[in-house]
Amino acid sequence: SYRFVNTDQKNQLKNNDRSIATLEGKNLLLDNANVNDKFSGNMWKYQKGKSDYYSKIMLKEKYAKHLGLKMTAQPDNSLDNQFGLIRNAEDVRIRDSGYSVHAFNTLISQRIGNHRGLPDTRNKLCRIQKYTEKLPKTSVIICFFNEHYQTLMRSVHSILDRTDMKYLKEIILVDDYSDIDGLHDAVQKSVNELNNRMRKEEEMIETNNIDVENVVDYINDDNNVVDKKTTERNKDVLSIRLLKTSKREGLIRARLYGAENSVGEVLVFLDSHIEVNIDWLPPLLARLAEGVDKETRFSHRAVTPVIDVINADTFEYTASPLVRGGFNWGLHFKWDNLPKGTLKTDEDFVKPIKSPTMAGGLFAIYREYFNYIGKYDEGMHVWGGENLEISFRIWMCGGSLELIPCSRVGHVFRKRRPYGAGDKVDFMLHNSMRMARVWMDDYVNKVIEQYPSAANLDLGDLTSRHNLRKSLNCKSFKWYLENIYPELETGENEVVKKRIAALNDVEKNKFQPWHSRKRNYTDSYQIRLKNTSLCIQSEKDVKTKGGGLVLGSCIRILNQMWFETSRFELVLGRTLCLDASNNVAPKLSKCHELGGSQEWKHKGSAGSPIYNTAAGMCLGVDRAGRGEPLIMVICDNQPTNQWDFIRS
């Protein structure tokens, strides 16, 4: 029998040498397993023969269930355990080059690795929903162009870790002709290893005999386990497949390619920088299965999960509110508040919610319905527009589009797309106009009002899409606006217009997607450089946006008084937030309430570092002196980056 000891007991186990795992014979028994996979606290030491082994223990949820265990993750804010902590110039290089290629913090993503626990962001009622066992099998399709390797692999692992295999037929990765050196081969290698491992796991589960050695091997990601005994079994088993397009197709045609090569009854499209949350799949499948037509054996539906936010700077996972998809006449997708009264009872928080449009990246649909309803428009390039096209098409041709609140998938929301908008053609406009010409009838003129140049764009051949609309006998866009999206301002109906204006008045300030409504301030304090009488103050007054910070003699004036909020913001004079978004020098910005560059962590005690979550660096100065500017420095506990907090 082995004994697992946590290597970071100060964070994990108050009771020092407590054995949390015993391995006996062929069964893995864990008690009080407190698996914290986000921090170094999940390194466990065990003895095998005469040597000590260190392993990252990450039991898959399916094992945990099998063993009757509950897995929890507890956040740990100590500086050493911050994933983004910059330790040297190399870290800075990784982070900065990551931003330029991928537009998110690859340093953090790298350090998180293949697995982590996520907060269960669902409504409590979701935990007791029951879904029938007999659900269709799924092909998950993930297209990627130059995705960050670790982020892509964690997307895949999150699916393997949190999906009941009986609902998964295959995971299809479509490499859209990426040109990052070595990316394709690295993904191929991992896919092969995963397939090998899965064959082994199936055996274990099947024989109800969870082999300790294998589980340990599996969970120790640093060990390259290659299974030599693996035999191909003639069984209906899950496989991961990596396909590659023969030229850069763009995400729309890449998805078509994936779909053509799939065999599952249901298709689930996902982006390549996502993490699925607990029990994400059954609610989607159950809703699709509910409406199945006996003859065609598919339902006329597409369903989407709630898209939670993975912060691009910090990879923090946070819940999104229930909102639905809309759009504006510029044909940009937007989130709308739910119509008033949608969420009245508790049950309303788990019931499907009709949505006029979808964001595009994450949805489930019967494969045969996807084909029947016209797949995607092959004439669309690279990025954009396909989400409104499929949304309008589904609604206008007799189907429906729904948001499923009990299904949650996190997505990395970036501030920019790391591939251009298109040099010669603006892809989004080209794609949107192809859509508008086929589906929007005379309302296309409203779009052209927004983009006069779009009137004469060469859109290529639209015949087959026009024919599709005819053959499916679809309703008019006017019908769609009146029945599915009456909230959209058409400029025609004064009654509707007034109603929306009134609605917006009431709803304004009350509910902003992604944002908290209320600020909770702690008492204010001054922040003094250790061993000095110098405090942090704004260079200009407390209301000047973009203003820098300097050291000044500590006197209790307004521009030295910092308020801290429950979101770890430092707000000067209750006005502007301390912001490290340029990674070099902090400045005062409008509070955005998104954490990251405005999230500061410290111990609150004398001589504490003040760490910024997005920058991975600490607040400091080059040297002590009046007028000395504040800069972001590596957290090395020098007196120039240690601070005292002076409360009145």
Contacting positions for Mn ion (CB under 5 A): 271
Neighbours of 501 (CB within 10 A): 10
- Choice between 148 and 169, CB closer to Mn ion: 148
417 binds ligand LR7 (CB under 6 A): yes
**Chosen from Mn ion, ligand LR7, none, partner binding at 286 (C-beta under 5 to 8 Å by type):** none
Between the alpha carbon of residue 316 and those of residues 112, 156, 216, 370, the distances in Å are 11, 18, 28, 34
Between the alpha carbon of residue 273 and those of residues 343, 381, 474, the distances in Å are 30, 20, 35
DSSP string, 515-548: S-S---B---EEEEETTSSEEEEESS-TT-TT-B
Query: Which residues make beta-bridge pairs with 357?
Result: 325
Stretch that binds ligand LR7, among 115-123, 359-367, 531-539, 543-551 (CB under 6 A): 359-367
Position among 258, 282, 360, 609 found at the interface with ligand LR7 (CB under 6 A): 360
Q: Are strands 363-366 and 266-270 parallel, antiparallel or unpaired?
A: antiparallel
Residue with tokens 């729309």: 252
- Choice between 5 and 412, CB closer to ligand LR7: 412
- Choice between 422 and 548, CB closer to ligand LR7: 422
- Helix H or strand E encompassing 635: none
**Chosen from Mn ion, ligand LR7, none, partner binding at 310 (C-beta under 5 to 8 Å by type):** none
Least distance (Å) between residue 271 CB and ligand LR7: 4
Stretch that binds ligand LR7, among 78-86, 382-390, 434-442, 506-514 (CB under 6 A): 382-390
**Chosen from ligand LR7, Mn ion, none, partner binding at 503 (C-beta under 5 to 8 Å by type):** none
104 binds ligand LR7 (CB under 6 A): no
- Choice between 360 and 573, CB closer to ligand LR7: 360
644 binds ligand LR7 (CB under 6 A): no
Least distance (Å) between residue 177 CB and ligand LR7: 8
Position among 114, 138, 272, 640 found at the interface with ligand LR7 (CB under 6 A): 272
Tokens representing residue 236 in the block: 């209906």
Nearest to 137 by CA among 267, 46, 311, 303: 267
145 binds ligand LR7 (CB under 6 A): yes
Report the residue number whose CB is nearest to Mn ion.
271
- Measured CA to CA, the distance from residue 647 to residue 290 in angstroms comes to 60
Between the alpha carbon of residue 150 and those of residues 80, 108, 109, 110, the distances in Å are 22, 10, 7, 6
- Do residues 389 and 257 make contact, with C-beta atoms less than 8 angstroms apart? no
Stretch that binds ligand LR7, among 5-13, 127-135, 214-222, 377-385 (CB under 6 A): 377-385
Least distance (Å) between residue 379 CB and ligand LR7: 14
Q: Are strands 534-538 and 549-553 parallel, antiparallel or unpaired?
A: antiparallel
Q: How many residues bind ligand LR7 (CB under 6 A)?
A: 23
**Chosen from Mn ion, ligand LR7, none, partner binding at 417 (C-beta under 5 to 8 Å by type):** ligand LR7
Task: Give first-to-last CA distance, the chain, whole Å.
Answer: 57
- Measured CA to CA, the distance from residue 366 to residue 293 in angstroms comes to 11
**Chosen from ligand LR7, Mn ion, none, partner binding at 547 (C-beta under 5 to 8 Å by type):** none
**Chosen from Mn ion, ligand LR7, none, partner binding at 360 (C-beta under 5 to 8 Å by type):** ligand LR7
144 binds ligand LR7 (CB under 6 A): yes
Tokens representing residue 456 in the block: 């004469």
Q: Please give the backbone phi and psi of residue 284, each rounded to the nearest 5 degrees, phi first.
A: -70, -50
- Measured CA to CA, the distance from residue 301 to residue 285 in angstroms comes to 11
254 binds ligand LR7 (CB under 6 A): yes
Stretch that binds ligand LR7, among 41-49, 230-238, 356-364, 498-506 (CB under 6 A): 356-364
Nearest to 149 by CA among 87, 194, 103, 102: 102
- Measured CA to CA, the distance from residue 39 to residue 77 in angstroms comes to 9
Stretch that binds ligand LR7, among 36-44, 92-100, 376-384, 517-525 (CB under 6 A): 376-384
309 binds ligand LR7 (CB under 6 A): no
Position among 265, 271, 308, 389 found at the interface with ligand LR7 (CB under 6 A): 271
Position among 86, 268, 373, 382 found at the interface with ligand LR7 (CB under 6 A): 382
Position among 106, 190, 387, 613 found at the interface with ligand LR7 (CB under 6 A): 387
Position among 359, 421, 448, 646 found at the interface with ligand LR7 (CB under 6 A): 359
- Choice between 147 and 265, CB closer to ligand LR7: 147
- Do residues 440 and 454 make contact, with C-beta atoms less than 8 angstroms apart? no
Position among 21, 194, 302, 307 found at the interface with ligand LR7 (CB under 6 A): 307
DSSP string, 100-129: HHHSS-HHHHHHH-S-------S-GGGGG-
- Using CB under 6 A, list all residues that contact ligand LR7: 143-145, 147, 176, 250-251, 254, 271-272, 307, 359-362, 382-384, 386-387, 411, 417, 419
